[in-house]
Amino acid sequence: MLKVGVIGCGTMGQLHSAIFKKLPGVELAAVADLDDQRRQEAADALGVKTYREGQELIADPSIDLVDIAVPTDGHAGLLDQAIKADKHVFCEKPVVRTNAECDLLEKLAIQTGKRIGVGHVVRFAPEYVAARDKVLAGDIGRAAVSRTFRGGSQFPKGWQDWYADYARSGGVILDLAIHDIDYLRWCFGDVARVYAKTTQGLTEERMEHAFIVLRFKNGVIAHVEAGWTNYPGQFYTTLEISGSRGQLTFDTRTTAPILYAKADADKQEVNVALPESPALISPYEAELADMVAAVRENRDPKVTLAEALATTRVALAALESAETGKVVNL
């Protein structure tokens, strides 16, 4: 039985805890949160041991795998402690906030024999996986251009309103666009050059929109768009990849998972609705199941620390470009 501790009982921490609670071969052993009320609510809902500081949970010798789901600026310190305490770690994206923290993590990673995975969940979204499979199979010929969009919903409000604090979150580029940057890196490899524009600091509070242009080393160019608006709206994502022999498109607004209600052969009564579409398997569940399997099978998780750091460096280059108005070469 793998014993897991989740640090942070906010949006992602609650989701991760609920998933670990039902994953086979896993015991959710403890959660930690600085906030007294959240800690109490988590204890009531989950019936597990609680700690206040993430550091206390890491010090618990019974915990095998530490899940870090605190605001982005808190990741590096907890990763440092968890790696030094010889724990397996799963950390939400972006894995760290700054290039200096990327350097630190690269050094720490060499010292651990444990597994470290990062929550770049788009690599587990069935439609995105299927699109990549088609690209790699050569179905659209030589890939040339890609466009992605992610956003449409309101500016997020986290604990202490940390998303609105650029120094803590890195804004919409580091928090949201990073998902597509990671996906495109997974499809096309290393990025050579980045240019970005963002409304951050230029428009009214609680609205941010960013446009990023990536040139990959293999010649592909991509346009990544992400936005948090200041009006209520529905979150959606789009993907377009064009090549020498075809094009792939996907838009979450025009697709819905298929539900299949099976009728009993004799009674002609509907028994139970069965999910027939892979879209009904939560990518969040799939990424945590992969992390647990990686520990058990003594293999790398699907999204390694090295991959997450490479993606984060591209997103940080986009931030630099948006700040300086210049193209950043990687």
Ligand X SMILES: NC(=O)c1ccc[n+]([C@@H]2O[C@H](COP(=O)([O-])OP(=O)(O)OC[C@H]3O[C@@H](n4cnc5c(N)ncnc54)[C@H](O)[C@@H]3O)[C@@H](O)[C@H]2O)c1
Strand partners, 90: 67, 117
Which of 159, 166, 195, 250 lies at the binding interface for ligand X (CB under 6 A)?
159
Question: In this complex, which beta carbon is closest to ligand X, that of residue 88 or of residue 168?
Answer: 168
Question: In this complex, which beta carbon is closest to ligand X, that of residue 39 or of residue 134?
Answer: 39
Which of 6, 17, 38, 188 lies at the binding interface for ligand X (CB under 6 A)?
38
Helix axes 305-324, 178-188, angle to 10 degrees: 120
User: Is-contact 316 174, C-beta < 8 A?
Assistant: yes
93 near ligand X (CB under 6 A): yes
CB of 70 to ligand X, least distance (A): 4
User: Is-contact 153 229, C-beta < 8 A?
Assistant: yes
CB of 218 to ligand X, least distance (A): 27
Q: Do the bridges between strand 2-7 and strand 65-68 make them parallel or antiparallel, or are there none, so unpaired?
A: parallel
Question: In this complex, which beta carbon is closest to ligand X, that of residue 140 or of residue 148?
Answer: 148
Structure token pair of residue 50: 């609680």
Contacts of 300 (CB under 8 A, 6+ apart): 115, 294
By rule CB under 6 A, what count of residues binds ligand X? 27
Report H helices in the chain. Answer: 11-22, 36-46, 54-58, 75-84, 99-111, 126-136, 166-169, 171-172, 178-188, 283-297, 305-324
Residue with token string 């998972």: 257
Binding mask 41-60 for ligand X (x = CB under 6 A): ------------xx------
CB of 164 to ligand X, least distance (A): 11
Binding mask 169-208 for ligand X (x = CB under 6 A): ------x---------------------------------
Instruction: Give, in order, the Cα–Cα distances in Å from 249 to each of 124, 145, 146, 275.
Output: 18, 12, 10, 23
Which of 2, 3, 11, 246 lies at the binding interface for ligand X (CB under 6 A)?
11
Which of 58, 70, 289, 305 lies at the binding interface for ligand X (CB under 6 A)?
70
Binding site for ligand X (CB under 6 A): 7-13, 32-35, 38, 53-54, 69-72, 74, 92-93, 119, 121, 158-159, 162, 175
